[in-house]
Structure 1
Amino acid sequence: MIDVQASGSDERLRRIEVVTDAALSQLGVKDLLEELLDRVREVLGVETAEILLLDVHAQQFVTAARKGLGDARPRSRIPVGRGLAGRIAQEMQPVILDEVVADPDDQILSGHQARSLVGVPMLAGGEVIGVVLVGGVRPRRFSAADVQLLQLAADRASLATRTQASGLDRTAALALQRSLLPTHLPQAPGVDMAARYVPGHDAGVGGDWYDVFTLPSGWLGVVIGDVSGHGLPAAVVMGRLRSALRAYALVCDDPASALTLLDRKIHHFEAGNLATVLYAVISPDRTTMRVSLAGHLPPILATPGRPAEILTLPVDLPLGVGPRQPARRYTEVAFPSDAVLICYTDGLIERRGEVIDVGMDRLRAAVEPAPAETVCARIMSTLAAEQTIDDIALLAIHTTGGRLS
């Protein structure tokens, strides 16, 4: 005697396995979506299936994959809030049409040959990122089990598209970071330089940056900064600030003035963002430097015959804090021969459960006068052996004997 209940359970399990098959993960996103639609058509016994993804910038649902009836039709583009797709997105619930009534104002309901449709939302982080629709050429009643299976397929499609999106964001962010952080520091007489950048998060990028450039006057500009936030958004803001500061450096005689202009730029064009920045300029003869700190950690200077010291400098407010701030300041500091200047971001020294002074003392103890590359390597092996929770940027400037006259 056939156990009807067991047979029904086996069939439900088979249907679920069809749309959750781990082998789908081996496919690219486009192929996965199309294969998923083929499987959904088979297990639900429908003639057409379609996935529409939300284009955030256009504010439209756009066909990403379509199988069955209407394969050759142009991709649907449905404004957010309109028609069947808009209803599904707004309600964040499945919508079942046992019998379709044509609607000339709805691309789905006017262009489909299907006479019955069911649609479910694709969700990510509590927001709708797309819609999955299936239909049959004859009126039919879709069961609760049919809807549950379709929702499983939608969840599978959502996971695939989110994975692709995060991959694209990561690729874009990495490309941006590589374009903004110098592959090689410039050659400048009288100094040798070295730098490190280590991402502290999965995105692989963030708002930390360093920069070195020679000004027309012969002074050497040195920058290290940290934009609040992580990932691609922070990297984009960082890129804008880096470019702006380079421009301001060409028209300002001192670093404090350049940071004042950069602060105005943040308030006007980057409202809501915060950044700490160290900007220093080193004289053409490499004997002195002028340093201005916008909320940034003070640099460390190691001079032959003396312990390395954390420079005692006035620290002004970070950039982006408020439109009315006291005048920014800079300090002139001697830069002796064979000394090394260390600029860094907080990811290098901050540790959970530890006051920041401990990390700064640990960094100071690791710094001795030596070529910049040697100093950077020693610092990283001492302070950055374990993965930190924040990005790390490190820049070392070492004075040599070849000074300009």
Structure 2
Amino acid sequence: MSRSLDAHDRLQQLETIIGVPAEHLGLAELLAETLRRLREVMEVDTATVLRYQPSGRQLVAFAAAGIEEEVHQGVRVPVGSGFAGRVALERAPVVLDHIDETTVVNSLLWERGLRSMLGVPMVAGMDLVGVLHVGSVERRQFTEAEVSTMQLLADRLAMMIQVEALEENRTATMALQRSLLPSSLPAVPGLAFGARYVPGAETGLGGDWYDLFALPGDRLGVVMGDVSGHGLEAAVIMGRLRSALRAYALDCESPDEVLAKLDRKANHFEHGAMATVAYGIIGPDRETIALSLAGHLPPVQVEPDGPGRLLDVPPDPPIGLTIGQPRRRTTVLDLTPGSVLAFYTDGLVERRDRPVDVGMRQLAEAVRAGDPDRVCAQVMAAMIGNRPAQDDVALLAIRREVVPAGG
């Protein structure tokens, strides 16, 4: 039998287990079952899948057959170190016939008595997904057909893991966002609220958030923020910034001081992260809001029976973008009875076919005084309509209630 036919036969056997996955099996179980079949087909003693973790530039044992303790013990291999690390670094098959501490980082492999190993990279598109390797306690030569079969299998498994990872990322991001965005808007005497959050049709869930919280002295904290990037990483950073801002808000009287502390925290602990944030404090009399902008777009204010206007609030540098401590400013704005203040993220006003300032002017025209939830509905109809937003959209409308005469 020729090598090419031999490889074809083996691939057909592998396709049997990959092509008809058991619906009740999770990804790790499905991979373990595939690896058990791989051991039989290639007549090897061990088979392992290590997943790549970009944040730590390391490979982590995810599924194994014949050497399950790799997974149980949480084996980790830095990219570029040892056998699997070399496969990941070079993104090319590697055959090893000398296995000890000089060639392999994971001691379990030489303790298992392996004498020959073959490893291939798992790549989906341009992304490194992991490494697939097999080992034999008998010394053997891996043929070109076997290397080709392993690489084809690795490519299939990489796509399977990538799809699962994307779904896991989206599910985790949705759960995290649901837990961090207010489940209901608070009841605050003298104020009424409306809000919307819609994930981007193209970018998916990201780091947009809004927040309302009570402060000592019957004051109210108001936040609208937007972390750069999308997916779980942006949502996690958003969660940490949200929690830090709340903590600083309890200790600081002015919004600019809160944002200065948040900026310092981000620069120290969130290297590479950037966010725009609007933070305001509404006083106990509900007559004013003290507002500071960290690179965020200005809110829109509308008086009863008047046109909406973009507020003239000076923007300071975004959070996490600056070195040192830039001077931040707070602007005090009047909240007249019946007026509405609308905060938003750039997904509401940015489009590929128009400058952002055009969208901001359109938003100002769309905001009208009235019930805040109705205001949000009107704004979403005018700005989004029947075209899905390309980026995340967060919108928060605040209305100072009109107190009846003698009330």
Which TM class, normalised by the smaller chain length? 0.7 to 0.9
* Unaligned runs of at least 5 residues, structure 2: none
**CA distance in structure 2 between the partners assigned to 1:309 and 1:114 by the alignment:** 73
Q: 1:88 to 1:318 in 2, by over 3 A?
A: closer
* Unaligned runs of at least 5 residues, structure 1: none
Figure out how many residues of one structure are paired with residues of the other and give that number: 394
Map of 2:49 onto structure 1: 52
Mean Cα deviation higher: 26-35 or 218-227: 26-35
Map of 1:15 onto structure 2: 10
Letter in 2 for 1:249: A
Map of 2:147 onto structure 1: 147
Mean Cα deviation higher: 322-331 or 352-361: 322-331
Letter in 2 for 1:34: A
**C-alpha displacement at 1:231, in angstroms?**
1.8
Q: 1:51 to 1:370 in 2, by over 3 A?
A: same
Contact 1:300 1:310 in 2 (8 A): yes
Q: Secondary structure at the match of 1:131?
A: strand
**CA distance in structure 2 between the partners assigned to 1:114 and 1:329 by the alignment:** 65
**C-alpha displacement at 1:202, in angstroms?**
6.3
Map of 2:134 onto structure 1: 133
Map of 1:66 onto structure 2: 65
Letter in 1 for 2:142: F
Q: Secondary structure at the match of 1:24?
A: coil
**C-alpha displacement at 1:15, in angstroms?**
3.4
**CA distance in structure 2 between the partners assigned to 1:262 and 1:375 by the alignment:** 31
**CA distance in structure 2 between the partners assigned to 1:332 and 1:316 by the alignment:** 15
**CA distance in structure 2 between the partners assigned to 1:176 and 1:245 by the alignment:** 17
**C-alpha displacement at 1:324, in angstroms?**
4.8
Render the CA deviation track for 1:138-188: whole Å, top value 9, x for unaligned. 554432111101111122222223333333333332222222111112110
Contact 2:223 2:280 in 1 (8 A): yes
**CA distance in structure 2 between the partners assigned to 1:101 and 1:120 by the alignment:** 17
Render the CA deviation track for 1:188-241: whole Å, top value 9, x for unaligned. 001111111111166743221111112111122111111222222222222222
**CA distance in structure 1 between the partners assigned to 2:220 and 2:76 by the alignment:** 55
Map of 2:31 onto structure 1: 33
Q: TM-score, normalised by structure 1?
A: 0.84
Contact 2:87 2:120 in 1 (8 A): yes
**C-alpha displacement at 1:376, in angstroms?**
0.9
**CA distance in structure 2 between the partners assigned to 1:144 and 1:286 by the alignment:** 76
Contact 2:116 2:139 in 1 (8 A): yes
**CA distance in structure 1 between the partners assigned to 2:192 and 2:173 by the alignment:** 29
**CA distance in structure 1 between the partners assigned to 2:177 and 2:304 by the alignment:** 35
**CA distance in structure 2 between the partners assigned to 1:402 and 1:60 by the alignment:** 63
**C-alpha displacement at 1:290, in angstroms?**
2.0
Contact 1:174 1:204 in 2 (8 A): no
Render the CA deviation track for 1:359-393: whole Å, top value 9, x for unaligned. 11221222111111111111112212322222111
Letter in 2 for 1:396: A
Q: TM-score, normalised by structure 2?
A: 0.84
Contact 1:78 1:85 in 2 (8 A): no
**CA distance in structure 2 between the partners assigned to 1:324 and 1:52 by the alignment:** 44
The CA RMSD measured in Å over matched residues stands at 3.2
Q: 1:116 to 1:200 in 2, by over 3 A?
A: same
**CA distance in structure 1 between the partners assigned to 2:324 and 2:95 by the alignment:** 58
Render the CA deviation track for 1:291-337: whole Å, top value 9, x for unaligned. 22222111111211211222222222222332356532222222121
Contact 1:88 1:131 in 2 (8 A): no
**CA distance in structure 1 between the partners assigned to 2:287 and 2:174 by the alignment:** 37
**CA distance in structure 1 between the partners assigned to 2:302 and 2:47 by the alignment:** 65
**CA distance in structure 1 between the partners assigned to 2:324 and 2:338 by the alignment:** 40
**C-alpha displacement at 1:396, in angstroms?**
0.6
Mean Cα deviation higher: 75-84 or 305-314: 75-84
2:390 aligned with 1:392: no
Radius of gyration: which is bigger? 1
**C-alpha displacement at 1:354, in angstroms?**
0.3
**CA distance in structure 2 between the partners assigned to 1:73 and 1:348 by the alignment:** 48
Q: Secondary structure at the match of 1:120?
A: strand
Contact 2:208 2:345 in 1 (8 A): yes
Q: Identical aligned pairs, as a percentage?
A: 44
Contact 2:129 2:162 in 1 (8 A): no
Equivalent positions of 1:31-180 (< 5 A) are 31-44=29-42, 46-54=43-51, 56=53, 59=58, 61-62=60-61, 64-67=63-66, 77=75, 79-80=77-78, 83-96=82-95, 103=100, 107=107, 110-112=110-112, 116-124=116-124, 125-127=126-128, 129-135=130-136, 139-180=139-180
Map of 1:258 onto structure 2: 258
**C-alpha displacement at 1:58, in angstroms?**
9.9
**CA distance in structure 1 between the partners assigned to 2:186 and 2:5 by the alignment:** 68
Q: Secondary structure at the match of 2:192?
A: strand
Letter in 1 for 2:50: L
Contact 2:51 2:62 in 1 (8 A): no
Letter in 1 for 2:48: I
Letter in 1 for 2:206: G
Mean Cα deviation higher: 387-396 or 244-253: 244-253
**CA distance in structure 1 between the partners assigned to 2:330 and 2:68 by the alignment:** 67
Map of 2:348 onto structure 1: 348
Render the CA deviation track for 1:102-139: whole Å, top value 9, x for unaligned. 6477546534466654332323545362232153x655
**CA distance in structure 2 between the partners assigned to 1:211 and 1:88 by the alignment:** 46
Q: Secondary structure at the match of 2:21?
A: helix
Equivalent positions of 1:241-390 (< 5 A) are 241-324=241-324, 327-385=327-385, 386-390=387-391
Contact 1:132 1:154 in 2 (8 A): no
Contact 1:272 1:320 in 2 (8 A): yes
**C-alpha displacement at 1:342, in angstroms?**
0.6
Map of 2:21 onto structure 1: 24
Contact 2:203 2:392 in 1 (8 A): no
**CA distance in structure 2 between the partners assigned to 1:179 and 1:185 by the alignment:** 14
